[in-house]
Amino acid sequence: MVQQSPDAGASPVPLVSVAMTAYNSEHALAQAIDSVLAQQTDFPFEIVIGDDCSKDGTVAIANSYAERFPGVVRVLAHPVNVGIQRNYYETFEACRGKYIAWLDADDYWTDPEKLAIQTQLLESDPTIMVCAHVVRYVTHEKVVTKERHPSMAAGRYGLEEIVRRNFVPSLSAFFRNGIHQKLPQWYFDIAPITDWPIWVLAAQAGGIVLLDRVMGDYTLTPGSAFMGKGLLYGNRLDARFYDHAVSLLSGKYLRIALSEQGGRYESIAYLLRQSGDFVGSRKAAVRAFLAPALLDNVGSKSKSLLVAVARELQWRVSGSRAKS
């Protein structure tokens, strides 16, 4: 059973809930919470901190804020580790607001008007499901390594764009509460892909707006799920997402997803070939060939498969000669 901090129901129902998940985050949690408390709004908001059985002082720090800001900061402390996907979902479930703002404990917001701007936008247009904004990439030492992400133009986007790539930085995401409740069961099996399926579901109901304003910093954490693992890891994650996401799509959007999946497998085949894994390269090239419709990307996927097979054959022949 989740241990919830006291005074959880003592305050008025907030308009916005900030969902903040944490695991062994004592080094960064206070900064994240402070960046939310610095928000300038004329409406009530809450911070719901979902801790996944941290082994350090994360829960103690979270509880200290709950004591200082009763009714504003709430803590959901899991006594056992439930995993990143389940922790996100249960934190979303505990959010009482009409809107949910996403902020991991390692990241923080830099613009005190962020919540006010995003709330005004979604309040003014019920067809907008998600609002995102540009973020920076920084190290723990506050060195900026990337000034703007994503690099795409600001504007309103739909299902096709979010199927092609996940362009919504999670710490920028502001969305309507309840979208997460439509997630399929496989969501809990695709860690660490936590947000992309939510945006796909959101885009099926309305628009995703990207604002041209930097309002948060994404912290590059060594050893995290995404950092330092390279292009191969990223392409494999994307391909895995498409393996499951096809169940959410139909018509032209399904075809787009399969085409994108094929492209990811082509990249995997190339990267494995460069690393000397010729068997793996050939297997990935086969997946690339089979992923989209027969005539989609026929030139590139055929070339990828032929090159992969030829290089594997060359490698096997060379190995046989060396043994003889």
pLDDT at 3 over 60: no
206, 95: one domain = yes
What is the per-residue pLDDT for 324?
47
pLDDT at 146 over 90: yes
d(CA 129, CA 120): 13
Mean pLDDT of 162-167: 98
193, 130: one domain = yes
pLDDT at 315 over 70: no
Assign 113 to helix, strand or coil. Answer: coil
224 occurs within a structural domain: no
Give the domain extent around 130. Answer: 3-219
Determine if the pTM surpasses 0.85.
yes
257, 114: one domain = no
* Helix residue ranges per DSSP H, the chain: 29-37, 58-68, 84-94, 114-124, 159-164, 196-203, 230-245, 251-274, 278-290, 298-323
Mean pLDDT of 217-230: 71
pLDDT at 1 over 70: no
* Tokens coding 283: 């297997």
Query: What mean pLDDT is reported for the chain?
Result: 90
Tens-place pLDDT, residues 171-203:
999 999 999 999 999 999 999 999 999 999 999
16, 54: one domain = yes
178, 305: one domain = no
Residue 288: pLDDT band by 50, 70, 90 thresholds? confident
* Tokens coding 262: 């094929």
Picking from 175, 192, 219, the residue at the C-terminal end of a domain is 219
Mean pLDDT of 245-256: 94
144, 261: one domain = no
198, 234: one domain = no
pLDDT at 157 over 50: yes
What is the per-residue pLDDT for 295?
54
pLDDT at 211 over 90: yes
What is the per-residue pLDDT for 9?
46
Mean pLDDT of 33-45: 98
pLDDT at 230 over 90: no
186 occurs within a structural domain: yes
177 occurs within a structural domain: yes
List Cβ neighbours of 103 (8 Å cut-off, separation of 6 or more): 18, 19, 20, 32, 35, 36, 109, 171, 216
104 occurs within a structural domain: yes
255, 183: one domain = no
> Which CATH number characterizes residue 155's domain?
3.90.550.10
- Of all residues in the chain, what percent carry a pLDDT higher than 70? 84
108 occurs within a structural domain: yes
194, 244: one domain = no
What is the per-residue pLDDT for 291?
77
225 occurs within a structural domain: no
Mean pLDDT of 204-228: 84
Q: Report CA 253 to chain centroid distance, whole Å.
A: 20
Picking from 166, 192, 219, the residue at the C-terminal end of a domain is 219
Residue 12: pLDDT band by 50, 70, 90 thresholds? confident
Torsion angle defined by CA atoms of residues 8, 12, 16 and 20, in that order, rounded to the nearest 10 degrees: -10
Mean pLDDT of 265-282: 91
313, 280: one domain = yes
Domain count within the chain: 2
128, 36: one domain = yes
289 versus 212: which is more confidently predicted?
212
What is the per-residue pLDDT for 298?
62
Cβ-in-10-Å burial (0-12, 13-18, 19+) of 251 comes to exposed
Picking from 163, 194, 219, the residue at the C-terminal end of a domain is 219
What is the per-residue pLDDT for 226?
52
Token pair 């046989």 is found at 320
What is the per-residue pLDDT for 224?
53
122, 102: one domain = yes
